[in-house]
């Protein structure tokens, strides 16, 4: 078994707070019957209706699947979807006391209609989104901040999962980062639309497109990727930046330099949906379990290589990751900079 796998035994000891935009991913599957007389469309007979954790809840689900204890904070509506999602999260072992109910909002949901039967491949034919994008109110901000203050000393690290659905107001961003730094907590940010507004963090994990949107130019060459990484690190006042590059692997930027690794099993990609949630969840669990930044990146890379072979919003479980690392080639051993540790103290 590789040296990387030794950190996995500590995952079950870790408690991670995930603050994020709460989204329900609904999958409605129907068996094709015939063409409708009303319009040139298929008629499906519904055979399944599954509600899965999406958005920030997927990061929490990945923490739980990897054996950690996830504390989830965010906002849901006072509605059936919110109640169903809370119940599903609790079934997965996720602590949901930080889910604030806002009666003025509906729970965000993405509904995917899948056509297919038990003996055929299920194919998505349409997606219907009902997403809240307005910023949460000051009263809801108060409730979220109060919960975070209550649990911050109980957890080992914090993930901010920003899908642009209104939870991360300027006040929420500032107060969470300030609290994390005051309490010496690792804080990782996965932000789709406003990465640049998170300042003084431990690490950010943008993909190539997210990084391009911040720096304003294409990352289509190694020099440009390196330029962007250093630029992001400086602008975010971060201890590290990890840019995920899809089939080109990952590149890490720290005070000690930059390190690139190739993608794990990217030739077997089936679906990249939710892979960023898997990366940040695995990375944080590895870091708080004592791994160095390069080691944690390598572990997250293996996890991403597993999840992209799965369909839909998927997770990696601890056994899958153990097998992947056990079959690896002991990457991470004897590297001169693999012992780089993060110092979870206050940053300015």
The catalytic site residues sit at: 277
User: Cα dihedral sign for 165, 166, 169, 174?
Assistant: negative
Q: Rounded distance, CA 229 to CA 223, Å?
A: 10
Strands 108-115 and 123-130: antiparallel
Q: Rounded distance, CA 302 to CA 40, Å?
A: 44
- Grouping H, G, I as helix, E, B as strand and the rest as coil, residue 251 is strand
Phi, psi angle pair for 50, to nearest 5°? -115, 140
Q: What letter does residue 344 receive in the DSSP assignment?
A: -
DSSP per residue over 92-118, as a string?
Answer: TT-EEEEEEEETTSPPEEEEEEEE--T
Strands (E), the chain: 15-20, 22-35, 42-55, 69-77, 95-102, 108-115, 123-130, 157-162, 186-191, 203-204, 240-244, 250-254, 257-261
How far lies 9's CA from each of 18, 170, 292, in Å?
21, 37, 16
Taking alpha carbons only, the member of 56, 51, 75 closest to residue 16 is 56
């Amino acid at each position: 078994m590789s040296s990387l796998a030794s950190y996995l035994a500590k995952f079950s000891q870790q408690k991670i707070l995930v603050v994020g935009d709460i989204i329900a991913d609904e999958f409605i599957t129907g068996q094709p019957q015939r063409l409708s007389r009303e319009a040139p469309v298929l008629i499906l007979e519904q055979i399944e209706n599954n509600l899965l954790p999406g958005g920030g809840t997927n990061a929490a689900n990945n923490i739980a699947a990897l054996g950690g204890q996830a504390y989830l904070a965010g906002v849901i509506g006072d509605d059936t979807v919110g109640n169903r999602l809370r119940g599903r999260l609790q079934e997965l072992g996720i602590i949901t006391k930080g889910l604030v109910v806002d009666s003025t909002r509906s729970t965000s949901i993405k509904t995917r209609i899948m056509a297919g039967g038990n003996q055929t491949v299920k194919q998505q034919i349409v997606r219907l989104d009902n997403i809240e994008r307005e910023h949460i109110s000051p009263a809801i901000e108060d409730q979220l901040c109060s919960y975070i203050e209550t649990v911050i000393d109980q957890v080992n690290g914090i993930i901010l999962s920003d899908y642009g659905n209104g939870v991360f107001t300027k006040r929420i961003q500032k107060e969470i980062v300030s609290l994390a730094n005051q309490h010496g907590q690792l804080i990782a940010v996965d932000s789709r639309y406003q990465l640049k507004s998170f300042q003084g963090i431990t690490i950010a994990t943008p993909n190539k497109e997210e990084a391009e949107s911040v720096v304003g130019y294409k990352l289509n060459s190694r020099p440009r990727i390196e330029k962007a990484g250093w630029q992001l690190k400086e602008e975010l006042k971060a201890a590290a930046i990890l840019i995920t590059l899809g089939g080109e692997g990952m590149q890490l930027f720290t005070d000690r330099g930059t390190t690139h690794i190739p993608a794990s099993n990217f030739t077997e990609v089936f679906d990249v949906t939710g892979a960023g949630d898997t990366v940040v969840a695995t990375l944080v669990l590895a870091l708080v379990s004592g791994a160095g930044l390069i080691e944690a990146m390598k572990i997250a890379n293996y996890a991403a290589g597993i999840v992209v072979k799965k369909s839909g919003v998927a997770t990696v479980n601890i056994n899958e990751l153990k097998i992947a690392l056990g079959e690896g080639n002991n990457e991470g051993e004897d590297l001169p900079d693999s012992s780089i540790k993060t110092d979870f103290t206050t940053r300015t």
